[in-house]
Structure 1
Amino acid sequence: LNMDKDTDIKQINNNINVIIYRLLKENKLKTKYRGIYYKPTKTLFGETTISNKYLIEKKFLKDKEGNVNGYIVGAKLYNMIGLTTQVPNITDIVTNECKYHKIFYNNLRVNILKPKIAINNENYLYLQLLDIIENKDNINIEVDNFDEIIFKIIDNSNLEFEKLIKYARITKNKKAIEMLIEIAR
């Protein structure tokens, strides 16, 4: 009985591969990278391709249901929030999709990192802020009002200090705990 299931699965996979091959041959599908296909759309400027930003979001930042399972860290995030003018060539992402310590995807120009705790809709902003405070990559902060910017992020995102301290303790982020106590005063 198990052999029939295995045979059925192999047959289904073979059928899918044949269908994909036909669609590629008929130019109804295009290959972005090995194993990643997309349906091209025609514009005035020619055919469009699927963007790396879209692939990164779908693969590392959100799951199929739209739940958060990752977030951007490092120089890219620092640039996005105005802490540095550095524009990194590679994006660092902490994601539940990373099973090992660190993996580099050359095609997408991303490093994916394993989170200290599982990321979800409720905790990702807290964890991202703690990573900003920790600054483990020693990114040059080009502003004088770092504490004010952190406080503004906490305020604008409606983050609770108690939860920030809780997640800082869970992730053993001593630098964040010290800074949060300083900001709270």
Structure 2
Amino acid sequence: MSLASEIRTRINKFPEGKTFGYSDLLIAKEDYVTAAKALERLQKEGLIKKMSKGVFYKPKQTVFGELKPDYTEMLRPYLFEDGKRVAYETGYSLYSRLKLTTQVAFRIKIASRDRRISVNKGALKIDTVKSYVDVTDANYKLLELLDALKDIKRIPDASPDNSIVILSSLINKLSDKQIAEMIKYALSYPPRVKALLGAILENINNQVSTNKLKQSLNPLTKFELGIKKSVLPTINNWNIE
């Protein structure tokens, strides 16, 4: 079977609305040029549509016309590589999902250790930033929370106090193992993140050891974050103002 036939067969097995790239089609890099020509022919036939460079989708047909992939499916090719998660959503769209803000994100920001992309096609606008640690399926939820702590003063239409209440509630639901992992990842973040996480953990569970966070901080550094002591009673222990 020719490569073009193999590609067509694989795409025919995809459900409507699925996004995919070369890796999803199991195409070897040395065959990319041949594959690109085959994919171009399939676009002309209307079997697939191009979403951005190297990313396509199988349009879903309804009685109301053609539907584009849903939001989650549109993002998937940029968050995964060869079936493994390498990035996660951050920025305003994440903070909206965490209910920290009602602000609508006009551009989506994703964080990845190594991947760098920029998409500006129709309604899909994506920029990348460098993550502080390698991203996996096991840790990205923890990294989302650490990002929110990092940007606590920059989240639009949100007060630091309100954000602390929401984030404290989310962190309080984590298991002991997840808390230990979160502390480990926090050590790669800016000092204000380590201080905030330490204060939150100390406030919601004084049995958790925050020694590593405390030891990583300069005891003379103060963090002006605009958080009230009535909201986070442990701020004085972490030089947070």
Task: Bin the TM-score by the shorter chain.
Answer: 0.7 to 0.9
- Show the 5 A alignment for 1:4-83: 15-51=34-70, 53-59=72-78, 61-65=79-83, 67-83=84-100
Question: Aligned-residue CA RMSD in angstroms?
Answer: 3.0
Matched AA of 1:118: D
The one-letter code sitting in structure 1 at the alignment partner of 2:181 is: K
Aligned-partner residue type, residue 26 of structure 1: E
Consecutive unaligned residues of structure 1, counting only runs of 5 or more, are 1-8
Give 5+ residue unaligned stretches, structure 2: 1-27, 204-241
Runs of 4+ deviating beyond 6 Å: none
Task: Report the 3-state secondary structure (helix = DSSP H, G, I; strand = E; otherwise coil) of the residue aligned with 1:84.
Answer: coil
Q: For 1:91 and 1:11, locate their aligned partners in 2 and report how far apart those are by CA, in whole Å.
A: 32
Residue type at the aligned position of 1:111 = D
Quick check: 2:94–2:144 contact (8 Å CA) kept in 1? no
Deviation at 1:112, TM superposition (A): 1.0
Q: CA, structure 1 residues 74+26, in 2 after alignment: closer, same or farther (shift >3 Å)? A: closer
Q: After the TM superposition, which of the residue ranges 18-27 and 42-51 deviates more from structure 2?
A: 18-27
Q: Distance in 2 between matches of 1:10 and 1:94?
A: 25
Q: CA–CA distance in 2 between the matches of 1:10 and 1:152? A: 46
Q: Could you state the TM-score of these two structures normalised by the residue count of structure 2?
A: 0.59
1:73-93 per-residue CA deviation (whole Å, 9 max, x = no partner) reads 111111111111211211111
CA distance in 1 between partners of 2:119 and 2:153 (Å): 19
- Identical pairs, percent: 27
Whole-angstrom CA distance in 2 between matches of 1:30 and 1:97:
27
Task: Give the 3 Å change call, closer, same or farther, for CA 15–131 of structure 1 in structure 2.
Answer: closer
| Corresponding residue of 2:223 | none
1:23-44 Cα shifts (integer Å, max 9, x gaps): 3343333333454333333210
